[in-house]
Structure 1
Amino acid sequence: MAEVWPMNGRVVLLIWVVAIGLILSARVAWQASSEAPTAASSALVHATPIPVDDVDRVEIRRPGPSQESASIEVVFERNDEGWRQVEPFEVAADGFAVRRVVLAAADLSATRRNQVEELADGGGLERVELATPDSNVTLTWPGGRTSIDLGARTVAGRAWIRIDDRDEVLVVNDALHEQAVEDDPRNWRSRRLFPGDAEITEFRSANGDSVTRLLRDGRRWSMTSPARTRADAAAIDRLVAIVGRIEHDGFVTDAPKELSRYGLEDPAAIIDVVRDDGEVERLLIGGPAGLVGRGRFAMIDGVPTVFRIDESTLRGLLPAVASFIDSTGTGVDVADVRYLVIDTEQGRVRLDRDLDRWTLSIDDGPATPTSGARVEALLAILSSTAATELQIQAFPARLQVGTIVLHAFDGRPLDAIRIARESADGRWATENGDGVLRLLPASTIMPLTPSGWIDASR
């Protein structure tokens, strides 16, 4: 049987002291948790969660650039087309940037709570900069609203706030301060030069003395200035894509006192984009934006903000006029051509389609079979061969060598193309009444005279 050693008095006393200490510690901890639930009992900030996707108005007040200047107040509103800044002036907003502010407000998390009266001994609301706060974010949505005063920032990415003038102030993460107070308010605006979303129906540019006007009728585009002619569909598609996404390259200043300083009192160029809802977006392009490079100052008409656009942006918006012109000799679909008549000084040639064959008649004489490949090659030159050069000028009548008239199946004329040539072995030029010469290489084979067609038919 094991021997049991008697416990001495010192050990017994030590056990009792430890037991009493544990009991007292547990009681103090329980009392602290029950008496101070506001210290860290909940990280929730908003009594009702902010419906981020329903917020349709954001008001931000923040300090001015200097102590003497007034506070800056910026207001954003959301409509069917997205977010717009409506105060201090109206301009398209960057929806992503505005949403970041809304998310920062919705995601606030409290690490400390104090009743307002609890701050009295420590300097009150003045100490945490919430007595007369100079920064505030107010969010509004259908059926709801919340106003958040932004106070002093503390250490470790924390800051004081007060919501809806409640009797408590909170210490939260400083993400909202970062977005609403520290960020440049210009970053909340859209940088797009033409932020509209409706379909474009007209494009106008005045670049010095050169005025270009492109007009859409249904799905077809045409040029009305500097010449009335067919527009190149691919070039128009590129322009529309550029207009839809192009952005400026940096803000310069708001509310400029002297537009002449930026060359905008008398702009060097003006670009108008007209949309099918009647909206007209006008871009004013001013003087050089520096000693190096070919960038320019610019501003959107009606928006008091000057920004920079670089050389590549300018090239995209103001390409050579000729790049918008359809470079083919005619816009007629060759499948719609029933017959064509070629008039030259040597006589008249008529070429008729007969199902999959072609016939030839000279000076209203009898029709005889001719080379269908030769006719198709001529039609391809007129309808699908791109000119190597375009010149907007009057047709050189003294160089005219013939006229080709294309006729529909009902006999009506579809198009008349005049043909000119610099010399017997020079370049060709076509023109169909639009004042645009479309030049083709001298090597182009374009049979016009009766003898040329008779020889080919033998």
Structure 2
Amino acid sequence: MNLKTTLFLLVMVAGVAGYVFFFELKNETTEQREQREAQSLRLEGSPLIDADDRPEPADVTRLELVIDGNTTVIERQGDGWQQTQPVTFPMQTFAVDRVCRELFELRLFERLDPGNDGAPTHEVARLAEPRALLRLHTADTTYQAALGRRLPGDQAYLQLNDHDDILVVDDDLHLAILDEGVNNWRATTLAAPTLAQTESLQIIPADSEPITLHNLGERWSLDEAGIQRADQDAVRDAVAALSRLRIEDFKADRPEDLARYGLDRPDLIVTSHRTAEDDTQPLPPLTLFVGGAADMETTQRFAAITRGDQPIDVVFTLRESDLTSLRPAVDDLRDKQVLAVEPADINAIRVQNRNTAFGLLRGADGVYRFGAPDPGYRVDRIVATDTTQQLARLEALGFATLDRVKAEIGSLEVSITGEEQPLRIRVCEPTVTEEDSEPRWLLIREPEPFGYLVDPAQLEALLAGPLAFKDRTLLALEREQITQIEMRLPGRVLIDLLSGEQQGTWTVNDEPADTQRINPLIDTLAGLRAAHWLTKDEQPTPRLTGDLSTLTVWAGQENQHAARLLIDAPTNAGTFEGDDAWFTLDPDTTAALLSEQRPADLIVVSPSDIRTITLSLADTTLNLERDPRGGITIDGTEPDDPAPAVRLIDLLSQLRAERLLAETWTPEPDAGLRVTITLADNSTHELQLTGIAPEGFLLPRNERSVIAVVNNKTVLIDGETFETAVGLMTNPQTITP
């Protein structure tokens, strides 16, 4: 077909369409038009109730539904709906409003005269005895709809009010009433009060004692007097658990035999009392009854709710997993915080232990001092602050009854801002049970009828006595004030550190000091603190003066003598010359104070400068050679794995001393492993690696450190060098570092 033919045919079709429109429709008779509009009405429908006369769901106050002779009544209560016949149960507002809306917004497709012109009779349309009868009451009108037979095409028969006509309408109302039913309109939550609305919550398990939680305004308690404090989060979880419950299915209305559902002897009863609002009468309490298992696996349980004295009307099912939070142990609901206060609210602590009594007082400026009797020294601010904070936030690891008290260790009286009387806490040693894997102390907060199990370490400082709070500041200097340090180590080693004219420069025995080594020493000395003060019984056994390390510090422009510190390195104990008070230092503090300050480089060469290394152990000798190209042989043979030999070369080329030792610690000549290093310029280095630390070693050291003699200097070096060398001697071909 060519283009001209196609265009001709299109013009002809347009002409025919125009003829039909202008001549046929224009000449349409009135009868034809009415038939066409009726056909359109049957297809699209029209509003059954005119929009001007149509009420809103909010105008409805009562709904009555009769099915098979059984009447259901639902009444509006406030903003919601409540089923009142034949049972009482809250309804979903949206679902009931939807039923009202479905009736008011029905679309009419056809109005039939029963039994005439081929229309069905009331009996055939199931309207003589309707499938359901719905009545909606507003303030001035009642709408009654009789629901008849369903029709194909999503339509159904309906009779409105007292009119005899049979109406063909959409079947949305039939779906909501006959397919979904009243049970689907019911609320699936319990409408339990919120935490703020709850006055009390009682939990009665079948197998344990009842628990009642009381809302006292600012806090919750396990008794009305407010003595047994409840954990706020645990209470919130329990109240929320009741609100979160979702009904799975409705099983029975007005059950005749509660035993069938295990509700004659409930497994759990939970009652929530709601607080009165705006001076009105309090609402009746909501009570949940949980009965027996609803399936073989006990994934669901039968349950029911009542309000006030209302009997059990409706039985439904709940998920067992949703009920877990409503079965707490009483200890799970207790407040684990022993004090539950802010540290700044603690004004005073009075401590009584088995031997002494003392008090800590906190001033308005936050500074602590001792109360009577005054021990004669200042309170350490850091220790007092940390202890107060720890006490304020002290939490129990568990709870115990008072019959577990074995012996009383001491007591605390804590004065708290806003409280008229101090809080008294007895500190006791509990009897040990099989459940106790670690030692515990039992704290009894009077007058509570139970005790808190806590870690003793959390209170040891308080119960130790006033000495634990003695000011631990030993030196309080600015680092720039320190001008000279004389360090005497065991074995008559004297190290003199002198500050240079230029700030921050130091010399060690007249040689430039290593800044990275001396700065930690200066920082530690300037703000030196004790870890603990020692009682006379705890002080170390007196030693010879030569066994102690001594640090003498000079400070200030006049270079005045500031202090002479004596340290027993093995025990980290220390004292000042002329003072009989002993203390302990943190191990890291001891290590910093006695750190090696003398030059530590023993061998500093490039690995490529090492030509041979000879290792001798007892009667065995091993020769390691390195050619100029980097190749390595051991006793003339290339090893399968050269990595251990390469590692040994790297370690020896940059060998540093961890500490220089006195000559009195020189090892036996034949002890350990001997190493001879020959360099490219034929110079040599001689080493003796013992693999041990001398007995009675009195200075801080690395646990892997070993004693060695390097070029006639007795030193400590890191143990990796010794381990790698011995490994090569043991298995030169396969050893790995």
Matched, 1:398 2:398: no
Matched, 1:360 2:358: no
CA displacement at 1:24 relative to structure 2: 8.6
Q: Which has the higher contact order (CA 8 A, sep 6+)?
A: 1
For 2:38 and 2:428, the matched residues in 1 are separated by 101
1:442 and 1:304, CA in 2 relative to 1: closer, same or farther beyond 3 A?
Answer: same
Q: Paired residue for 1:103, among 91, 98, 101? A: 101
- AA in 2 matched with 1:419: V
**Where do 1:279-290 residues align within 5 Å?**
279-290=284-295
For 1:415 and 1:378, the matched residues in 2 are separated by 17
Q: Paired residue for 1:137, among 127, 134, 138? A: 134
Matched, 1:268 2:250: no
Query: 2:241 aligns to what SS in structure 1?
Result: helix
Query: 2:174 aligns to what SS in structure 1?
Result: helix
Maintained 8 Å contact 1:205/1:211: yes
Alignment partner, residue 439 of structure 1: 453
1:118 and 1:401, CA in 2 relative to 1: closer, same or farther beyond 3 A?
Answer: same
CA displacement at 1:274 relative to structure 2: 0.4
Unaligned runs of 5+ in 1: 1-18, 64-70
Alignment partner, residue 303 of structure 2: 298
Q: Paired residue for 2:442, among 409, 413, 429? A: 429
Matched, 1:58 2:63: yes
Alignment partner, residue 616 of structure 2: none
CA displacement at 1:55 relative to structure 2: 2.2
Alignment partner, residue 229 of structure 2: 230
Matched, 1:389 2:386: no
Maintained 8 Å contact 2:41/2:109: no
Query: 1:242 aligns to what SS in structure 2?
Result: helix
Alignment partner, residue 5 of structure 1: none
Maintained 8 Å contact 2:273/2:286: yes
Cα shift readout 1:55-100 (whole Å, capped 9, x = no counterpart): 232222223xxxxxxx232121122251111111111112222122
Query: 1:49 aligns to what SS in structure 2?
Result: coil
For 2:378 and 2:442, the matched residues in 1 are separated by 29
Q: Which moved more, 1:140-149 or 1:21-30?
A: 21-30
Instruction: Give the RMSD, CA atoms, in angstroms.
Output: 3.3
CA displacement at 1:108 relative to structure 2: 0.7
Matched, 1:328 2:337: yes
**Where do 1:157-196 residues align within 5 Å?**
157-195=154-192
For 2:186 and 2:82, the matched residues in 1 are separated by 8
Q: TM-score, normalised by structure 1?
A: 0.83
For 1:23 and 1:411, the matched residues in 2 are separated by 97
Maintained 8 Å contact 1:149/1:163: yes
For 1:320 and 1:22, the matched residues in 2 are separated by 84
For 1:451 and 1:62, the matched residues in 2 are separated by 83
CA displacement at 1:189 relative to structure 2: 1.3
Query: 2:385 aligns to what SS in structure 1?
Result: helix
Maintained 8 Å contact 1:130/1:149: yes
For 1:410 and 1:438, the matched residues in 2 are separated by 24
Alignment partner, residue 29 of structure 2: 26
1:256 and 1:405, CA in 2 relative to 1: closer, same or farther beyond 3 A?
Answer: same
Alignment partner, residue 369 of structure 1: 378
Alignment partner, residue 114 of structure 1: 112
Query: 2:210 aligns to what SS in structure 1?
Result: strand
Q: Paired residue for 2:92, among 77, 91, 94? A: 94
Cα shift readout 1:257-284 (whole Å, capped 9, x = no counterpart): 2211222112222111100133211111
Query: 2:265 aligns to what SS in structure 1?
Result: coil
Q: Which moved more, 1:421-430 or 1:97-106?
A: 421-430
- AA in 2 matched with 1:84: Q
Query: 2:248 aligns to what SS in structure 1?
Result: coil
1:24 and 1:105, CA in 2 relative to 1: closer, same or farther beyond 3 A?
Answer: same
1:167 and 1:249, CA in 2 relative to 1: closer, same or farther beyond 3 A?
Answer: closer
- AA in 2 matched with 1:233: Q
Matched, 1:345 2:354: yes
For 1:346 and 1:307, the matched residues in 2 are separated by 65
Alignment partner, residue 619 of structure 2: none
- How many residues are paired up? 430
1:204 and 1:163, CA in 2 relative to 1: closer, same or farther beyond 3 A?
Answer: same
CA displacement at 1:450 relative to structure 2: 5.9
Maintained 8 Å contact 2:358/2:465: no
For 1:270 and 1:344, the matched residues in 2 are separated by 46
CA displacement at 1:142 relative to structure 2: 2.8
For 1:411 and 1:73, the matched residues in 2 are separated by 62
CA displacement at 1:289 relative to structure 2: 2.3
CA displacement at 1:235 relative to structure 2: 1.6
Matched, 1:72 2:70: yes
Cα shift readout 1:235-269 (whole Å, capped 9, x = no counterpart): 22222222223223322222222211222112222
Maintained 8 Å contact 2:413/2:422: yes
Maintained 8 Å contact 1:56/1:78: yes
CA displacement at 1:165 relative to structure 2: 1.2
**Where do 1:312-323 residues align within 5 Å?**
312-323=321-332
Query: 1:127 aligns to what SS in structure 2?
Result: coil
Identity %: 23
Alignment partner, residue 420 of structure 1: 428
1:358 and 1:81, CA in 2 relative to 1: closer, same or farther beyond 3 A?
Answer: farther
Bigger radius of gyration, 1 or 2? 2
For 2:65 and 2:376, the matched residues in 1 are separated by 83
- AA in 1 matched with 2:367: R
1:310 and 1:117, CA in 2 relative to 1: closer, same or farther beyond 3 A?
Answer: closer
For 1:179 and 1:286, the matched residues in 2 are separated by 31
Maintained 8 Å contact 1:346/1:449: no
Q: TM-score, normalised by structure 2?
A: 0.53
Query: 1:50 aligns to what SS in structure 2?
Result: coil
Query: 2:344 aligns to what SS in structure 1?
Result: helix
Alignment partner, residue 661 of structure 2: none
